[in-house]
Every structure is written in structure tokens, then in C-alpha cells.
Amino acid sequence: MRLEQKVALVTGGGRGIGRETSVLLASEGAKVALFADDEREVEETADFIRKQGGEAIAIFGDVRSENSVNAAAQTVLDAFGRIDILVNNAGVMIIKPFLEMTVSEWDWIHDVNLRGVYLFSRAVIPHMVNQQSGVIVNVSSIWGTKGGPNRSAYISSKFAVIGLTRALAEEYRSANIRVNAVCPGPVRTKMMEDLAPGATRFCSGNSLVKTTTIRKLSSLPAPVKPRPISTTGSERTRKASWWRTCRSGSIRTP
């Protein structure tokens, strides 16, 4: 197994892309900690992984809360002794014209989509620095690479995730920590269905969900359901934590 003895922490791990990613990581041998704000979903996903022979723990909390995030990181360290992989996947969206969006809605989206990435990275990076190794995968969006109507808060938050990713990649590559972002197109998830019932029929065929790896990023066509962000690959890109190109909905290293 390619990720045996590795420990992964996945936010938003109870459903959608986060769930599929967690299941895949476990199937590759990683010990997985799932963090989410829906206790039932995250427990169900962790239980599914355990029934498949994997090792997983469920952590209920709020990505917006510094105390909750710090406690989650400590829970993972207490349970597994280390954190090798962080997948910042948790995210929310509201589709609404700019002038109709309230300040509280704007703050909520940015607190989940950006502050959550900041808080979890801040909680985990010191341990990765001590290990002199680690991988952080931030889930941005195809909307983090272009503009569009009625999604101003979501788009700006996802652009910011890419900016933070670039900054951290440069700052911590000397500690052998690689920081990458993936930018999925439309994916058939519960969030998408809740936002626009029936619209998920457009999520098949023309969408891409990108897979990211511990040492390499590679692309994976998305069918009608979410596919995982995987963490495998070649030694070739181990030394490369900086950004090279953005195409086909994915930010990638060389």
C-alpha cells in the first residue's frame, strides 16, 4: 500500500469529495481522521472505512473556530502520533447577486472557505516542520480561476485559497512541505444539488475532478459522482513545491 503508516486529516470528510477522498486514502493504507460539522455523516464515513478494514477516526467540529481546529489537530496527534497529509476540503457556496448578499452571508462563506484553510494549515504546519515532511492539498474550484455572476463571495474565497496556497508553497518548501491546490469543475454532490436542484445533470461528461498526489499531481475524469483526491505518485516532484501552471481546472507542480 502506497500510504502505509501515513496519517491524513481531511476536512469536510463526511460527504461529497471529502468522503470519497477519505475512503481512497484509507484504501491506500493511510490512517484517516475525518473532520466535519455534521456528526452523523462524519461518523458514518469513518465507520464505513473501518468496516472496509481501514483505520479512521471521526472528529466533529467547526472549521471557523480556532479552538475547534486546534483541538482536532491535537486529537489526531494523540490518536496517531503524526500528521502527514492535510486535505483542506470543507467549503460552502451561496448563489445570489452581489447586492442581495448580506454581510453575514459573505462572512460565512469566507470564514469556511478561507479562514478554515488558514486555521487548519496553521495548526498542522508546525508538526510537519518538525517532521521535515508533509503534504497539504487545498481544494479550490474552477471558480477560483475565473469570474462569474451571482457567486462573488464563493469566487473571491476560492481565488484567495489559491493565493494562500502559492504563499505557503514558497514559504515551507525548505521544510520539505509541499502545498498544492486542486480546482474541480462541477461535481455531483449534495451541496450542488441543494444549491440548484436538477442542475447536477450538467456535472457529467464536461467536468473534471483533479487528483493530487503526495509527490505528483495527475488528472482524473469525473463521472456522475464525486471522485477522490488521491495521494500517490512518483519521486520526481518531491523537490518541487512551487507553482508552475494552471490548466484544465488544476493548479499543478512540475
Whether the model pTM is above 0.95: no
Q: 95-151, pLDDT tens digit by residue?
A: 999 999 999 999 999 999 999 999 999 999 999 999 999 999 999 999 899 999 999
| DSSP three-state, residue 32 | strand
Indicate which residue of 154, 159, 172, 243 is catalytic: 154
154 in active site: yes
Q: 190-246, pLDDT tens digit by residue?
A: 555 555 544 434 443 323 233 333 223 322 233 334 445 544 433 333 333 333 323
* Domain boundaries of the chain, sorted by first residue: 7-252
The CATH code for residues 7-252 is 3.40.50.720
Q: Which residues pair with 32 in a beta bridge?
A: 8, 56
Instruction: Please report the beta strands in 118-234, taking only residues with DSSP state E, as ranges in sequence order.
Output: 134-139, 177-182, 208-212, 217-221
In whole angstroms, give the CA distance from residue 219 to residue 206: 14
